[in-house]
């Protein structure tokens, strides 16, 4: 069965399909000191009825008109009353509500499934009314309407003004509804939320094929979700309804609608399913827009190797001079992230070629174009529209310049900027905006930028430099930088690379400029919560860097005393969060590492524990930044107990909650996600490596050295101090990181991982890691790593030869120099003859795998099956 797109179905914003990963906060703390849940979803509310017995209460309620839940049709009546008493910013459609009541009243002619379908159809109709009004009014107006409606209902719901049984019943229904959501939740689309809750429950209970709602109901909810203007609502609705449709097993959407579903899968992190849907339709669709969507899925899923394959095919099949700017922008960022400078240069050249062939347009023009609603009559018309070439915008130029400068690729950044500057449709106003976005106006003088650009401009260089200088001066004037440049020249930058590679410094300079203005107090009120928090964090850093610890602690105490829910307009300073405490942890940790005095070291370590205590007392939510700093500190002082108290809770946290802005808090069992960043995982791997250095099984001990006894005694001493051990092994840790949390390690991170695996002799798992590294993440093994792995295998071979010499009747001690030298010579001769441990300069990934498999086949044949198991665990074939 195939659901074709109906004529006239609305597609909104298809020309710019975006993929984002929603960050979620953990429900509970990650450290052992905090053992209670935060931000409880439900508040206890109950009625206290005074009566002689429960039977008396039941009798009185029935006399007032209440019915028992066991009576036929009572659930429907209950839900109708719930809908009738529920609040909404909009006036309900009385005719449709009356139709629903009369339909449900005819109990004998309707079975339970038909009654549910009728209820669901009513919710769809009301939800569509809400969405239409949201489109016409905007969320701000609806929020105001909702507040007025809530205030009116609160007045009407005063217990002193209940004059009838019906009013009492409605008051009770209203309190039941309020108990099901947090007090601070403001519902914009109440009926849409109810529809999503039903869809979520059907998904969780796997009732797609139970005929509770019809396929037509599922399709209608899918079509409705596509037009919701709020991005998070839209993605949730598409995922819930799309998952129900595909759970039927015999239904598949047309490619255009399926692209919406794939986008929602990526948004919520279901990368494997998204890639499977894309790949299964590749040959059938065979359109450029489909491959561009597939490339975006690969980039979001960190499958950079598959992206490279799709890129090559797309350029060969549809022309080598164009690729969608959004794909290029994301791909260049990913390539620079993993330090694949060859790949990023290739993509940057393709971007410049695309702009040269198709031109670019201001972002305001593209936004107006993407906001238009498009109607498709058939798949062919949809393909023609989606295959239209998009134009890059000035924001694409800005993003790519920043990416390259962050990785100190100055020549590539200047090449991109010079092409923007020399384009015929660049205007001074737009170039001024670009310079402000890039923060180039924070340079000490325009001559710095001028000298950088001259070698990249050829024809009409004087005109372009003049335009750049005019825009630079205007940007400096608009931001009031020109008034302070002469007086505070030393705080401005003398190189464009430093601006992007040190964003916090640039932010501090900008904040200093703003705060130095006479009218700064009037404009600071528009700062966002995140900006306010960053400014406070920077102030704390500055105080501590200047050894003003007391002042910093007083400021922190002030932040702790602030109420948690201040009005945004008045919140110049935000309550203390994990980033603020992290400043102190980093400061004290560095002090402890640098001092040679044991008393001072103990003093700073105690202060870190005091910071942790304050975090717990203030009920501050830990984030990855603070946990990374704590792990680094505890690992430095070899306090592995505290390290694994943190790590075990981080890796074992399964209960999560959505951010406080979302009203879908009790639906999160369907969208389980957590946030563990790359930097936190890096600290976890470093901690594991330290732990196993005390519990290794002797790799490298091929020779009895003079300090062997002291070394062994020290290892046993440190081992005896460890009382908390990791709750998982290396294999489980790697799988959690790359599959469940979708972390993309760079080449340096992979080197840390593989070194740790070599140290514990996990040879049967290393081929899977190498394959994932190269064939999924697109990172190749360098010569240094190849030699390190071969070095580990070399020690293994020496140990084997040593055992052979001992078993052959040699009377010399197994660790003494003569027997070790004999074993080493045998292994070296095998390496020289090419029998083992070959090196290759062309395909190092294959050579490493070949060397490891050769070792396992000869020495540990029983572990060969584990190699295949590891590949299957990582979904590698």
| Residue bearing tokens 């769809």 | 124
pLDDT at residue 103 above 80? no
Whether residue 57 has pLDDT greater than 70: no
Neighbours of 655 (CB within 10 A): 12
Structure token pair of residue 619: 């009920």
pLDDT interval class at 96 (50, 70, 90): low
Percent of the chain whose pLDDT exceeds 70: 71
Report pLDDT for 37: 33
Residue 697's pLDDT band (cuts 50, 70, 90): low
> In the 8-state DSSP scheme, what is residue 183?
T
Which of 57-61, 252-256, 565-569: highest mean pLDDT? 252-256
Asked if 772 and 738 count as a contact pair (C-beta separation under 8 A), the reply is yes
Long-range CB contacts for residues 40-43, cutoff 8 Å, separation at least 24: 41/182, 41/657, 41/665, 41/666, 42/179, 42/180, 42/182, 43/179, 43/182, 43/183
pLDDT value at residue 582: 93
Tell me the mean pLDDT in the region 602-612. Answer: 94
pLDDT at position 682 over 80: yes
For residues 547 and 620, give the distance between their C-alpha atoms in angstroms, rounded to a whole number.
Answer: 25
pLDDT for residue 699: 53
- The rounded distance, in Å, linking the Cα atoms of 202 and 214 is 12
Contacts of 633 by beta carbon, 8 Å cutoff, 6+ apart: 585, 589, 592, 608
What's the confidence (pLDDT) of residue 187? 61
Residue 447 Cα to chain centre, angstroms: 40
Q: What is the 3-state secondary structure (H, E, C) of 96-120?
A: HHHHHHHHHHCCCCCCHHHHHHHHH
pTM of the predicted model as reported, rounded to 2 decimal places:
0.78
Confidence (pLDDT) at 410 = 94
Across the range 387-415, mean pLDDT stands at 94
pLDDT for 225 equals: 92
212 burial type by CB count under 10 A (0-12 exposed, 13-18 middle, 19+ buried): middle
SS3 629: helix
Q: How far does Cα 549 stand from its chain's mean position?
A: 34
Where in 301-436 does DSSP place strands (E)? 373-376
> Can you give 497-558 as a three-state secondary structure string?
HHHHHCHHHHHHHHHHHHHCCCCHHHHHHHCCHHHHHHHHHHHHHHHHHCCCHHHHHHHHHH
> Distance between CA atoms of 867 and 770, rounded to whole angstroms?
12
Residue 10 confidence (pLDDT) above 50: no
The pLDDT score that the predictor gives to residue 841 is 74
Q: What percent of the chain has pLDDT over 90?
A: 42
Question: What's residue 861's pLDDT?
Answer: 92
Work out the pLDDT band at 106, boundaries 50, 70, 90: low
Could you give the CA distance from residue 32 to residue 724 in angstroms, rounded to a whole number?
12
In Å, what is the CA distance from 299 to each residue of 175, 206, 424, 447, 745? 47, 31, 33, 39, 14
DSSP letter string over 745-807? --HHHHHHHHHHHHHTT-TTTHHHHHHIIIIIS--PPPHHHHHHHHHHHHHHHHHHHHHHHHH
Q: Provide CB contacts within 8 A for 769, sequence distance 6+.
A: 734, 750, 753, 754, 757
Whether pLDDT at 161 is above 90: no
For residues 413 and 405, the answer to whether their CB atoms sit within 8 Å is yes
Contact 664, 236 (CB under 8 A): yes
CA distances from 488 to 442, 464, 496, 507, 543 (A): 11, 29, 18, 16, 20
Alpha-carbon span 640 to 690, nearest angstrom: 9
Residue 659 · residue 24 · CB < 8 Å = yes
Q: How many C-beta atoms lie closer than 10 Å to residue 397's C-beta? A: 25
pLDDT class of 526 with cuts at 50, 70, 90:
very low
548-555 long-range Cβ contacts below 8 angstroms, 24+ apart: 549/587, 552/583, 552/584
Q: What is the pLDDT of residue 467?
A: 94
Instruction: Provide the pLDDT for residue 25.
Output: 36
Residue predicted with more confidence, 34 or 305 = 305
Residue with tokens 């990913």: 334
Task: Scan for tokens 């009185």, then name that residue.
Answer: 60
Termini Cα distance of the chain: 31
The pLDDT of residue 174 is 52
590 pLDDT higher than 90: yes
pLDDT reported for residue 194: 85
Mean pLDDT of the residues in the chain: 78
Q: In 3D, which of 297, 227, 259, 239 has the Cα closest to residue 387?
A: 259
Helix%, strand%, coil% for the chain, nearest 5: 65, 5, 30
Least confident range from 364-378, 382-396, 643-657, 703-717: namely 364-378
How far is CA 265 from its chain centroid?
14
User: What one-character-per-residue DSSP string does 556-606 give?
Assistant: HHHHHHS-SS--GGG-SSPPP-HHHHHHHHHHHHHHHHH---HHHHHHHHH
Q: Residues 716-735: what's their mean pLDDT?
A: 90
Q: Evaluate if residue 292 carries a pLDDT over 50.
A: yes
pLDDT band at 264 (very low <50, low <70, confident <90, very high): very high
Instruction: Select the more confidently predicted residue: 149 or 847.
Output: 847
Handedness of CA 562, 568, 574, 575 (dihedral sign): positive
CA geometry: angle at 725 spanning 723 and 731, to 5°?
Answer: 170
Say if residue 43's pLDDT is above 60.
no
Which whole number is the average pLDDT over 583-605?
Answer: 93
Helix axes 325-337, 288-300, angle to 10 degrees: 30
- From CA 272, how far away is CA 253, in angstroms rounded? 18
d(CA 346, CA 360): 20
374: which strand partners?
Answer: 11
Selected residue with higher pLDDT from 137 and 330: 330
Residue 514 and residue 523 in contact, taking contact as beta carbons nearer than 8 Å: yes
pLDDT at residue number 109: 53
Residue 227 to residue 184: CA distance in whole angstroms = 27
Rounded to an integer, the average pLDDT of 181-191 is 56
Give me 872's structure tokens: 């299957």
Q: What is the mean pLDDT of residues 440-458?
A: 90
Rounded CA-CA distance 474/245 in Å is 55
- Each domain of the chain, given as residue ranges in start order, spans 687-873
Position 737 scores a pLDDT of: 94
Residue 852 to residue 321: CA distance in whole angstroms: 42
Q: Is the dihedral of CA 91, 93, 98, 104 positive or negative?
A: negative
- Top pLDDT among 199 and 56 is at 199
- Residue 714's pLDDT is 82
Burial grade of 142 (CB within 10 A; 0-12, 13-18, 19 or more): buried
Alpha-carbon span 407 to 398, nearest angstrom = 15
| pLDDT band per the 50, 70, 90 thresholds, residue 626 | very high
Confidence bin at 539 (pLDDT 50/70/90) = confident
Q: Which two tokens stand for residue 637?
A: 């002082």
217 close to 121: Cβ distance less than 8 angstroms: yes
| pLDDT given for residue 647 in this prediction | 92
Quote the CA–CA distance of 221 and 119 in Å, as a whole number. Answer: 13
**Span 306-351, pLDDT tens digits:** 999 999 999 999 999 999 999 999 999 999 999 999 999 999 999 9
Specify the pLDDT at position 59.
72
């Amino acid at each position: 069965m195939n659901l074709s797109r109906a004529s006239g179905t609305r597609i909104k914003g298809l020309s710019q399909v975006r993929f984002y990963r929603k960050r979620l906060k953990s429900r509970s703390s990650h450290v052992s000191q905090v053992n209670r849940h935060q931000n409880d979803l439900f508040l206890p509310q109950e009625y206290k009825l005074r009566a002689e017995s429960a039977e008396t209460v039941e009798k009185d309620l029935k006399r007032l008109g209440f019915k028992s839940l066991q009576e036929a049709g009572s659930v429907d009546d209950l839900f109708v009353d719930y809908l009738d008493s529920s609040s909404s910013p909009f006036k309900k459609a009385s005719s449709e509500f009356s139709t629903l009541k009369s339909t449900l009243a005819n109990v004998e002619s309707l079975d339970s499934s038909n009654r549910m379908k009728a209820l669901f159809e009513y919710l769809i109709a009301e939800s569509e009314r809400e969405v239409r009004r949201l489109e016409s009014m905007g969320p701000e107006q609806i929020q105001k309407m909702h507040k007025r409606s809530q205030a009116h209902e609160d007045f009407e719901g005063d217990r002193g003004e209940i004059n009838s049984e019906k009013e009492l019943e409605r008051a009770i229904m209203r309190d039941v509804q309020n108990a099901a959501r947090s007090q601070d939740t403001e519902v914009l689309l109440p009926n849409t939320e109810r529809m999503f809750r039903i869809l979520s429950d059907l998904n969780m209970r796997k009732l797609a094929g139970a005929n509770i709602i019809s396929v037509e109901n599922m399709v209608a909810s899918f079509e409705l979700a596509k037009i919701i203007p709020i991005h998070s609502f839209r993605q949730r609705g598409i995922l819930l309804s799309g998952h129900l449709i595909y759970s039927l097993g015999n239904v598949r959407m047309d490619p255009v609608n399926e692209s919406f579903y794939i986008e929602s899968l990526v948004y919520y992190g279901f990368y494997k399913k998204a890639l499977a849907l894309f790949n299964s339709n590749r040959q059938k669709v065979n359109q450029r827009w489909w491959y561009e969507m597939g490339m975006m899925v690969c980039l979001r899923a960190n499958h950079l190797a598959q992206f490279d394959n799709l890129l090559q095919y797309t350029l060969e099949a549809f022309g080598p001079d164009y690729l969608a700017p959004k794909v290029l922008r994301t791909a260049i960022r990913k390539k620079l992230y993993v330090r694949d400078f060859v790949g990023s240069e290739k993509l940057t050249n393709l971007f410049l070629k695309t702009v040269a062939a198709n031109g670019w347009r201001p972002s305001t023009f593209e936004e107006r174009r993407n906001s238009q609603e498009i109607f498709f009559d058939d798949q062919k018309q949809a393909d023609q529209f989606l295959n239209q070439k998009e134009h890059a915008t000035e924001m694409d130029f800005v993003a790519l310049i920043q990416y390259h400068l962050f990785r100190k690729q100055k020549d590539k950044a200047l090449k991109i900027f010079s092409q923007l500057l020399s384009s015929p449709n660049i205007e001074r106003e737009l170039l001024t905006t670009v310079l402000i976005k890039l923060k180039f106006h924070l340079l000490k003088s325009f001559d710095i930028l001028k000298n950088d650009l001259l070698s990249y401009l050829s024809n009409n260089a004087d005109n372009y430099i003049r335009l750049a200088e005019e825009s630079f001066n205007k940007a400096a004037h608009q931001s009031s930088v020109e008034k302070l440049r002469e007086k505070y020249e030393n705080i401005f930058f003398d190189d464009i690379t430093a601006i992007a590679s040190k964003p916090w410094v640039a932010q501090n300079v900008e904040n200093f400029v703003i705060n130095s203005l006479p009218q700064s107090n009037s404009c600071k009120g528009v700062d966002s919560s995140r900006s306010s928090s960053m400014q406070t964090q920077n102030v704390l850093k500055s105080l501590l860097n200047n050894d003003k610890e007391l002042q910093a602690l007083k400021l922190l105490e002030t932040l702790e005393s602030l109420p948690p829910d201040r009005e945004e307009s008045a919140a110049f300073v935000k309550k203390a969060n994990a980033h603020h405490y992290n400043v102190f942890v980093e400061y004290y940790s560095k002090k402890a590492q640098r001092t040679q005095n044991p008393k001072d070291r103990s003093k700073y370590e105690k202060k870190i524990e005091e910071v942790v205590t304050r975090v717990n007392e203030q009920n501050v939510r830990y984030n990855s930044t603070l946990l990374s700093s704590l792990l680094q500190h505890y690992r430095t002082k070899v306090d592995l107990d505290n390290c694994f108290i943190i790590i075990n809770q981080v890796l074992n946290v399964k209960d999560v909650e959505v951010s406080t802005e979302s009203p879908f808090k009790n639906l999160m069992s369907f969208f389980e996600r957590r946030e563990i960043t790359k930097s936190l995982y890096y600290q976890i791997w470093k901690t594991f490596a330290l732990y196993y250095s005390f519990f290794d099984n002797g790799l490298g001990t091929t020779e009895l050295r003079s300090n062997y006894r002291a070394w062994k005694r020290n290892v046993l001493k440190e081992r005896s101090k460890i009382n908390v051990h990791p709750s998982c092994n290396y294999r489980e840790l790697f799988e959690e990181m790359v599959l469940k949390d979708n972390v993309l390690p760079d080449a340096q991170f992979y080197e840390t991982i593989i070194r740790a695996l070599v140290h514990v002799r996990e040879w049967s798992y290393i081929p899977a890691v190498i394959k994932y590294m190269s064939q999924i993440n697109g990172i190749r093994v360098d010569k240094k790593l190849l030699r390190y792995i071969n070095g580990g295998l070399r020690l293994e071979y020496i140990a084997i030869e040593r055992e052979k010499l001992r078993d052959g009747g040699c009377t010399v001690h197994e660790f003494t120099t003569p027997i070790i030298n004999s074993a080493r010579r045998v292994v070296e001769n095998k390496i020289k003859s090419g029998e083992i441990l070959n090196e290759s300069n062309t395909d190092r990934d294959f050579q490493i795998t070949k060397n490891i498999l050769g070792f396992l086949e000869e020495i540990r044949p029983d572990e060969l099956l584990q190699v295949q198991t590891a590949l299957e665990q990582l979904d590698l074939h």
